[in-house]
Structure formats: C-alpha cells, structure tokens
Amino acid sequence: MAFPPEFLRELEDRSRIEEIAGRYVNLKRRGKNLTGLCPFHSEKTPSFNIYPGNNSYYCFGCGKGGGVINFVMDAERLDFVEAVKWLAQRAGMALPEQSWDDSLSKLRMRILEVNREAGRFFYQTLASPEGRAGLDYFRGRGLDPGTIKKFGLGYAPESGFGLTNHLRAKGYTVEEMTQADVARLSQRGNPYDRYRGRVMFPIFDLRGNVVAFGGRVLTDEKPKYINTSDTPVYHKSSGLFAMNLAKNSDSRQLILAEGYMDVIALHRAGFSNAIASLGTSLTEEQARIMKRYADEAVICYDSDEAGQKATQRAIPILKNAGLRVKVVTVPGGKDPDEFMRNYGKDGPLRFKQLLEGGGTDVEYRLSKLRDQYDLETEEGRTRYLGDAVGQVLSKLRDPMEQDIYAGKLSGETGVGKDRILAAAGGLSRREVQKEQKKLRREEMKIAGAESAANPEKKGHMRAALAEEGLIAYLFLHQDKAEALQKLLPPEKFVTAFNRGVYAALLGKTIHGAATLADLGGELSPAEMGELSRMLAQHRDPPVSGADAKEYVRLILREGGRAGAEWMKTASDQEVQQEIARLSQEQKRRRAGSDQTR
C-alpha cells in the first residue's frame, strides 16, 4: 500500500523544492530555473538544476533526480516513508492513517533505540566499579563530570556480555543488536559485545540521535580504535563527530580536528564549532554537510607526517564543496588536546591567536612546495615557480586571488608578476576547457546509450529515445492519457523500463494529475533519476502533439527489431548523431507547427 495520492500532492504543494534545496546548495537563477554545484557529487562546473515548474531537480553530472521527496531522501539519507514524514512535519501536516509498508522505518527506529540504550549503559558503567579504568582515563585527560555528560562518554566492560545481557533484558532481539553493530555473533551463533574494555564515544546525527560509537582501548592492544560499521542508520562517509553541537554555534566557521579528544578539548576551551571527520580521511559527503552550516573550514590536524598528508588531501575536497579553507598548524608537533593541557588557562587565548594567524589553503600549499626547494639557487626558484603555478595558481578561479599570489611569487622568485599571471592564465583556461568537456561528456553519456535504469536502451536506441519523448509529453499533457493509451498501449513499448514508467503514469492519471511524488514510492532512486532526465531534456522546447504522433509511429515501426542490430556496429559518434537527428526532427516539427498557427 502507498500514501493516498491526494495527501502526496498536497505535501508536494506545501514543499517547494527551491526552498528545501536552498538549505544544501547555493542556487543561482537561470531563467525560470535555478542551478548550482551538485550536493551529491563533487564538481567545479554547476550541473545541478532545480525546476520549480514541476517541483523537481536533476543533475546532468551524476544523474540524480526526482521530485522534492527524492531530494530529501538523497540529502538526508532517508527512505521514502521517512522522507514523507520529514516533509510532513516541516509542512505541519498530519500523516494519514497508516497504509504503507514501514518495516524498514521500524527497523531503523529500533536500531536507534538500541543505540540510545547502549549509550546509557556505557555512561552508567563509567560510574560503576567496572568502569573505574575508563573514568581514571578521562580524569587523566582533564575531563570533568560536566564534559563527560555533555558528550555522553562511557565505558564498555571487559566481560564481553554486559551490554548484550542488558539489551536482552530490555526486550531487544539479537538481530536488532547485530544490525546496530553493538553485538557480533560467535561461530556457534551466540551474541557477544562488540566493544570490550574500551572508553566509549557516542556519535550523534544532526537530529541528536545516537547512530554509532567509537571505542578506544586503554592498553597497547591493536587496533587502538574500533568504530561502528555502516548500519541502516549510520554511514561512515557522512558521519561527523560533534556536528550536532557545532551546527548550533553562532559562527559560520567550522574547525576540523583529527580526533575525539581534540574536539572535546576545543569545546571545553570555548570553541563550540569544532568537529572531527571520524579519522583523517575526509569524504566529499562530509564536506557537503559542513557547507550547510559554514562558509569557512579551518583544518587543524596533527602536525605529524600523516596529519599533513591528510591536510593536503582535505583541502581540495573542502574547496570543491564551496568552503573557504584555512590551515592551522599547532606548534611543537602537538595536537589541540595537548596544546590546551600544556598551556592550561592560557590555552584558549593562545589557540585563538593561532586561528587568527592561520594561513589560507593557498599559503599552506605554497609553503609546503617552498620547503622542497632551495630558493637561493636559480634551479630551486625555477622548479618552485613551475610547481607553484602548475599545482596552485592555475587551479584558482578568482582573478583577484590569482593576482595576489602571483605578486607574492614574483617577490620570492624575481620573475615579473605579469609573466606569472600569463602562465597561470593559460593553464587555467585549459583546466576550465577540460572541466567543460568532461561535463559535456557526462551529459552525453547520460543522454545516450549508457543507462543503468534502462539497460535495453543501448540495443534499441531509436525506439528508446522516442519512448522517452512520449513519456515527457504524457507528463505535461495528462489530459491526453486516454487517447494515448488507445493509440499506443504500454505493451507496445520496446524497452521494459520505459514501458513500466509509461504504464505507471497512465495508471496514476486515473486519480487526477499525477506528480513525481505519486511515482516516488514505486520507482527506485535510479529510476526516478532517469525519469527526471527525460523531463529535463524535453523541457526546452517541450514535446508538441506533432512530436508525440511521430514518436508513436516510430515506436510502432521499430517494434524492437532494428535497434539491436544497428547498435552492434554503430560507433559512439553514430549514436550521438542519431540522438542529435531525433532532436533536430523535433525542432523542425515544432517550427512547422508554429508557422501553421
């Protein structure tokens, strides 16, 4: 069963995608539509589009698309039912009486309950005789009871069965414990605690739910830390320690540290905008989440070799997400936790000075290159300048920023600023051209034969393209549904995917005008992306009645026989020419129709 169509349509009417997507993406108006850098993959050239006319989105770079419900599913990592609930709560709408399958939602809720109860168990154990070792550890790191409570810190007892016994007594099943990854199964199928003899750091999502744990061993045993694996409520690639607290800070700046204790030390010192990426390997998804709450990221990783490598890797990820980047190196090879403990009451002021004196990411990268060469020699200056222009200056897209650092390089090397800018400008133009070509290739790939949702497309190109045009026409002219069904029933479609979408759309029109929300519960995210692509590509100009008749004739004529043989020998260029030919035919028919009016 699904949500009532009337409910979904009202929900969509009250949930404008431009308002919701604007929380995640910096959107710019382009005619009737809006565009920006995609929040779902890393890109430098905007290929993400919002279409307020039908409350949809589509990215020509990664192929994600759909209606407003699909956007929430992608942005918040929710299933369809949870995304509907999320939007309904935002819109102040009461959910209809339950008529949908929410088994996955129920499992997720139970896992969150298991995590919450596990967090309480670890916290309470810390104050018991069993948790003495953990409490001594935290006290040794200078933590007071208030800090321990604020972060929900705890201890997993050595026994190996304390938590599983506790959860069983609370009524949770073995499957729920293993799904939450707080328990594992022995070879005999018996559950045992995943965490034993470790101090525990709960990880919260942005809504304050405990979604995962990190556990640190107190001995020399390896591994030093173990962390929750991916579960139905947690994805390591998007987890950020203390982000639930940092998002409420007044600053539009986030301090990115390396470890749990570094973040806790910074919060204790008054820097409530500190977070950690749960390890040194920052992901694009984490960076995009950071961008929702900040304009600037300050990287404050450890100053050892591993930390510096992680810094170099994080800089482009943060920049591509649209964040300004600064880098702070704690002196003396210390991390923020050691720094605060060494300086005591002066620590906060000294760290504030470090923040204010921190260099930009460009200055940091240039300093790392500078350290590799002897600028007292001509060869050293030449090699430094070549790397600086090729690896740093040419990557900058702001002309003023290029000008500033070209001046600094000129002063360091004695080479004229204009010559440096000319070299950087030439490389920049080539970089931009490569980016634009890559985007065009991705768009053509998505528009052409490569379709994960419709694998038959490559074998029946002509018919599949005509089917896509007809689906776009039906979506815009749903009053023609009955006539189209008589003229071309779904079974006449050549490709199974397009046949299913066409049939679903025809079926939905029985209840009135169908929207993307109506189809969201039936189509997978990949399938919704494919449907959104069809609508986006046939938006300007829209498919006319004459176009639709020609598509019907083509589908009936092809009947699945010509496409497969043709595609066996067709080159990529011929495929693209066929796509262009059909597009030109549509434009000619449209022009002819306009002249006869």
Whether residue 1 is predicted with pLDDT greater than 60 in this model: the reply is no
In-domain check, residue 468: yes
Does residue 157 share a domain with residue 275? no
The pTM assigned to this predicted structure is 0.72
- Confidence tier at 573 by pLDDT (50, 70, 90): low
Bridge pairing between strands 154-156 and 198-204: antiparallel
- The predicted structure's pLDDT at residue 586: 54
CA 583 to chain centre: 33
pLDDT (tens digit, 9 = 90+) per residue, 410-449? 888 888 888 888 888 888 888 777 776 765 655 555 454 4
- The predicted structure's pLDDT at residue 60: 87
Please state, in angstroms and rounded to a whole number, the distance separating the CA atoms of residues 308 and 150: 30
pLDDT (tens digit, 9 = 90+) per residue, 210-258? 999 999 999 888 889 999 999 999 988 889 999 999 999 888 999 999 8
Does residue 541 share a domain with residue 505? yes
Does residue 380 share a domain with residue 318? no
**Token pair of 88 as six digits:** 């309904």
Does residue 73 share a domain with residue 166? no
- The predicted structure's pLDDT at residue 560: 42
In-domain check, residue 247: yes
In-domain check, residue 97: no
Does residue 478 share a domain with residue 571? yes
State the chain's mean pLDDT as an integer: 86
276-299 as b/e: b if 16+ CB within 10 A: bbbbbebbbbbbbbbbebbebbbb
- Beta-bridged to residue 35, according to DSSP, are 28, 49
Smallest Cα–Cα separation from 108: which of 235, 21, 246?
A: 235
Please state, in angstroms and rounded to a whole number, the distance separating the CA atoms of residues 305 and 325: 20
- Beta-bridged to residue 50, according to DSSP, are 34, 57
- The predicted structure's pLDDT at residue 565: 47
Whose structure tokens read 């210390």? 334
Helix (H, G, I), strand (E, B) or coil at 520: helix
pLDDT (tens digit, 9 = 90+) per residue, 176-192? 999 999 999 999 999 99
- The predicted structure's pLDDT at residue 429: 82
Please state, in angstroms and rounded to a whole number, the distance separating the CA atoms of residues 246 and 208: 12
| CATH classification at residue 525 | 1.10.860
Does residue 31 share a domain with residue 122? no
Whether residue 408 is predicted with pLDDT greater than 60 in this model: the reply is yes
| CATH classification at residue 52 | 3.90.580.10
In-domain check, residue 182: yes
Range of the domain at 19: 5-91
Domain boundary among 302, 327, 357: 357
Does residue 213 share a domain with residue 331? no
Residue 344 Rama label (left phi>0; alpha psi -120 to 50; beta): left
Higher pLDDT among residues 66 and 596, named by residue: 66
- The predicted structure's pLDDT at residue 591: 58
Domain boundary among 234, 254, 282: 234
- Confidence tier at 563 by pLDDT (50, 70, 90): very low
- Confidence tier at 567 by pLDDT (50, 70, 90): very low
Average pLDDT value for residue range 338-351: 91
**Per-residue DSSP letter, 240:** -
Q: How many domains does the chain have?
A: 5
In-domain check, residue 119: yes
The CA–CA distances, whole Å, from 588 to 194, 560, 581 equal 66, 26, 10
Please state, in angstroms and rounded to a whole number, the distance separating the CA atoms of residues 192 and 225: 18
pLDDT (tens digit, 9 = 90+) per residue, 252-304? 999 999 889 999 999 999 999 999 987 658 998 899 889 888 999 999 998 78
Does residue 210 share a domain with residue 110? yes
Q: Identify the weakest region by mean pLDDT among 158-162, 488-492, 519-523.
A: 519-523
In-domain check, residue 181: yes
Smallest Cα–Cα separation from 254: which of 350, 323, 330?
A: 323
Whether residue 45 is predicted with pLDDT greater than 70 in this model: the reply is yes
In-domain check, residue 83: yes
In-domain check, residue 230: yes
**Token pair of 105 as six digits:** 């939602």
Whether residue 574 is predicted with pLDDT greater than 80 in this model: the reply is no
Does residue 218 share a domain with residue 116? yes
- The predicted structure's pLDDT at residue 98: 67
The CA–CA distances, whole Å, from 268 to 121, 350, 411 equal 24, 14, 42
Domain boundary among 48, 65, 91: 91
Does residue 425 share a domain with residue 352? no
Please state, in angstroms and rounded to a whole number, the distance separating the CA atoms of residues 189 and 95: 40
Does residue 224 share a domain with residue 117? yes
Residue 104 Rama label (left phi>0; alpha psi -120 to 50; beta): alpha
Does residue 380 share a domain with residue 305? no
Q: CA quadruple 581, 585, 590, 596: dihedral positive or negative?
A: positive
